[in-house]
Amino acid sequence: MLGYDAARWHAVLNDLPAALLVVAVLFDLAAAALKRESLMWAGIWTLWAGVIGGWAAVIAGELASDAIDHGEGIHEIMEKHETMALLTMSVFTVVLIWKMVRRFGLPPQEQLITRALSIVGLVGLVWTGILGGRMMFEHAAGVPTKTLQAEILDRAAGHDHEEGEEHRHADTTKTVPPRTH
């Protein structure tokens, strides 16, 4: 769709909802600490947007999991990532529905429970992101095998830098001088 495959759609859709859910929790905690109704409503609206966007990211991720080249290493992490994403989004969805059913006027004990659940959701969100990052940056998930093979050959061939330009290797802090022929 629109020139993007499922893995790219997942990458496009996952950052904003994650940020919205983090901010929703922060607004809710700030509303509790500062007793400001405006912060409570900001938290509710960002929670709404984060939940809707989060489910869109989950759906795109599910489609991507069936579409990308992967071996056992990616598959194991992918299963954990999917499970955590579903659990995390379920927690935030429960919090949103709970607040809606109570018409956003929760008694203090229920506010504590929903805040605790939101913090659990936040921890799940971070762990989901860590697993997704591990798939991408340690296993190149979403990169087609043919493209990855070409990139490996290209990296092995090296490259030249302009005169005076420095190059740092990812695994060291030493500056490598430009290669001369």
pLDDT digits (tens, 9 = 90+) for 108-126: 999 999 999 999 999 999 9
- Percent of the chain residues past pLDDT 90, beyond the cut: 65
Residue 159 lies in a domain: no
Say what the pLDDT of residue 160 is. Answer: 83
Residue 180 lies in a domain: no
* 178 has a pLDDT exceeding 80: no
Residue 156 lies in a domain: no
For the ranges 40-44, 54-58, 170-174, the lowest mean pLDDT is seen at 170-174
Residue 97 lies in a domain: yes
Residue 123 lies in a domain: yes
Average pLDDT, the chain: 89
pTM (predicted TM-score): 0.83
If you average pLDDT over residues 46-57, what whole number do you get? 97
If you average pLDDT over residues 13-35, what whole number do you get? 96
Say what the pLDDT of residue 181 is. Answer: 46
Quick one: CA dihedral 50, 52, 57, 58, positive or negative?
Answer: positive
* 167 has a pLDDT exceeding 60: yes
Q: List phi, psi (to 5°) of 140.
A: 55, 40
If you average pLDDT over residues 159-168, what whole number do you get? 79
Residue 162 lies in a domain: no
Q: How many domains, in total, are found in the chain?
A: 1
If you average pLDDT over residues 9-32, what whole number do you get? 96
Residue 158 lies in a domain: no
- DSSP calls for 81-139: HHHHHHHHHHHHHHHHHHHHHTTT---HHHHHHHHHHHHHHHHHHHHHHHHHHHHHHHH
Residue 169 lies in a domain: no
Would residue 142 be called left, alpha or beta, if left means φ above 0 and alpha means ψ between -120 and 50 degrees? left
Say what the pLDDT of residue 91 is. Answer: 98
User: What domain range includes position 92?
Assistant: 6-151
Cβ–Cβ under 8 Å, residues 104 and 46? no
Q: Which of 91, 123, 84, 96 is nearest to 28 (CA)?
A: 96
If you average pLDDT over residues 50-70, what whole number do you get? 92
Q: How confident is the model at residue 3 (pLDDT cuts 50, 70, 90)?
A: low
